[in-house]
Amino acid sequence: MLMPKRKPVTAAYVFKVEFLDELALSQQAISELMGVSRKTVNELVNGKQRFTVDIALLLEKVFDTPPEFWLNLQRQSDLWKALNSARTKTRLAKAKAFRPQKKIASTKARA
Percent of residues, the chain, with pLDDT higher than 90: 68
Average pLDDT, the chain: 91
Confidence (pLDDT) at 92: 87
Q: What is the DSSP string of the chain?
A: ----SSPPPPHHHIIIIIIIITTT--HHHHHHHHTS-HHHHHHHHTTSS---HHHHHHHHHHH---HHHHHHHHHHHHHHHHHTSHHHHHHHHH-----PPPPPPP-PPP-
**59 pLDDT above the threshold of 80:** yes
**31 pLDDT above the threshold of 60:** yes
Rounded average pLDDT over 64-89: 94
pTM of the model: 0.79
